[in-house]
Amino acid sequence: MGTAVAGFLGALIGACASLFGLVVQQHYQTKRERMKIAADHGLKVNEEINRALKTIRLNQNYEEEWTPTPPNIFEATNELLTREFLFVEKNVVRALNLFLAIMADTVYWEPEVDMGVTLRDKDRMIKEAYEQLKYISEHVTDFLRTEIFVGKINKPALISKLALLQLCIFISRSEFKSIEFPNQNIIKVNGTQSPIDIVKIAENNTTLFKNELVNFFKSIKEKYKNDNNFMIEVANAEKSIRDI
């Protein structure tokens, strides 16, 4: 009787050990498959944003007016990147949405022609947009490389870079040239700085930049306090301060 029980228990333990081994094996197999899927889609995203950058930069000369991106090139990039939204981390989706919004500024749309936007105006927009797209590309690449090859996701770094760029794009708007506020050491609203100019300075002086932003937003909220629609946009931009 005792021998039978011992045999039964031994068989049961062996079966449990085998089952546990299968569960562990399945777990790691699933993890490997997920990592491969993430890697495949991450590489697709990285290839596409770099292809878009090369297309914009192709045959351009910093000493001459830049040629706008053909609408069909933008539309193809938009289709390819949005197709990847389901397969990449949500903050990469945020980065790609910003990338596409900025890339759209490199296209010379028909309504812009009708509104009197000159090729000289577009030249400045394309050059500034290209620098912003490079910035996004670099940080998305770093994020994906860490996720794929290290297995860790550094969300705060990517979120911080995106928030900083979005803020600098916002405060560089031409309608803010008449805004006056104290202590303008980093933020110059006189039209001499591009968003990336401000980004580069702000990255090395985050505390000072945040202090200036408080004064900047206080001034524009006072000036535009009667424009309810614009104040919503201001409030959304101001929220980005907490992420930088």
Checking if the pLDDT of 131 tops 50, the result is yes
Q: What's the pTM?
A: 0.80
Residue 99 within any structural domain of the chain: yes
The rounded distance, in Å, linking the Cα atoms of 184 and 203 is: 16
CA–centroid distance for 168 within its chain: 13
Residues 185 and 147 in one domain: no
- pLDDT value at residue 10: 58
- pLDDT value at residue 194: 92
Checking if the pLDDT of 4 tops 80, the result is no
- pLDDT value at residue 143: 87
Of the candidate ranges 28-42, 148-162, 190-204, the one whose mean pLDDT is the lowest: 28-42
pLDDT in tens, 11-34: 556 655 565 555 445 544 444 455
Residues 187 and 145 in one domain: no
Number of domains within the chain: 2
Q: Give, in order, the Cα–Cα distances in Å from 96 to each of 99, 102, 151, 242, 243.
A: 5, 10, 21, 21, 18
Give the pLDDT band (50/70/90) at residue 7.
Answer: low
Residues 107 and 182 in one domain: no
The rounded distance, in Å, linking the Cα atoms of 212 and 48 is: 36
- pLDDT value at residue 129: 95
- DSSP assigned state of 88: S
Distance in Å from the first CA to the final CA of the chain: 72
- DSSP assigned state of 242: G
Residues 132 and 182 in one domain: no
Checking if the pLDDT of 56 tops 70, the result is yes
Residues 123 and 197 in one domain: no
Residues 201 and 244 in one domain: yes
- pLDDT value at residue 104: 95
Whose tokens are 């206080």? That residue is: 218
Q: Computed over its alpha carbons, how large is the radius of gyration of the chain? A: 26
Mean pLDDT, residues 112-117 taken together: 78
Residue 134: give the domain boundaries.
Answer: 32-153
Q: For the chain, give the mean pLDDT.
A: 82
Residues 135 and 192 in one domain: no
Residues 50 and 126 in one domain: yes
Give the pLDDT band (50/70/90) at residue 2.
Answer: low
| 133 compared with 18, residue with greater pLDDT | 133
Mean pLDDT, residues 177-199 taken together: 84
- Residues whose CB is less than 8 angstroms from the CB of residue 70 and which lie 6 or more positions away in sequence, other chains included: 107
Residues 49 and 140 in one domain: yes
Task: Give, in degrees to the nearest 5, the angle at Cα 105 between 103 and 110.
Answer: 125
Give the pLDDT band (50/70/90) at residue 144.
Answer: confident
Nearest to 139 by CA among 153, 158, 155: 158
Checking if the pLDDT of 1 tops 70, the result is no
104 token code pair: 């759209």
Given a contact cutoff of 8 angstroms between Cβ atoms, the answer to whether 103 and 77 are in contact is yes
Burial 170-180 (b: 16+ CB within 10 A, else e): bbbeeebeebe
Of the candidate ranges 32-46, 50-64, 115-129, the one whose mean pLDDT is the lowest: 32-46
The partner residues of 69 in beta bridges, in order of sequence, read: 107
Residues 38 and 116 in one domain: yes
